[in-house]
Amino acid sequence: MPCAVGYSQGAQAADAVLETIANGGTAIPRELVDGKLYADPKQPGTGMWAKVPKGLGALGFTSTGPGPDEFPGVPVARFCIRGDLACDATTPVAALDFFLTDKHRRYALDGNVMAQTIAKQGLNGVFWYES
């Protein structure tokens, strides 16, 4: 099964592609697609772009606003490490953690989130991990 996978800014791009497919904006059949979004800044409610109004920007970045809560007909899993500013911008501490810790870089480490989930298909929803 084809899978749209993205990490951080790649997750932001994959989020937009999956939304287009789910809304019938392409000839790609929804039932043939799966999605995995790691550290998605468009994660509804908690992602950094969900917290910053669409169109506002700083430091060369412009908010796209939040992604959809669901992708109709397309299973999409969002994976977030608690405290990662990209997908868990829920406290001021998350901003400090982003610059002072390596939480955002931990997804691809051996045995961590990507290694545990990349081969799984049909997952749907938001999955939280402790660092």
pLDDT digit string (tens) for 18-28?
A: 999 999 999 99
Angstrom distance (rounded) from CA 122 to CA 112: 20
Q: Which pLDDT value is given to residue 78?
A: 98
CA distances from 57 to 5, 34, 53, 118, 119 (A): 25, 30, 9, 32, 35
Cα 116 to Cα 107: distance, rounded to the nearest angstrom: 10
For residue 98, pLDDT over 80 is answered with: no
DSSP 30: G
* Res 99 pLDDT > 80: no
Domain ranges (residues) in the chain: 3-129
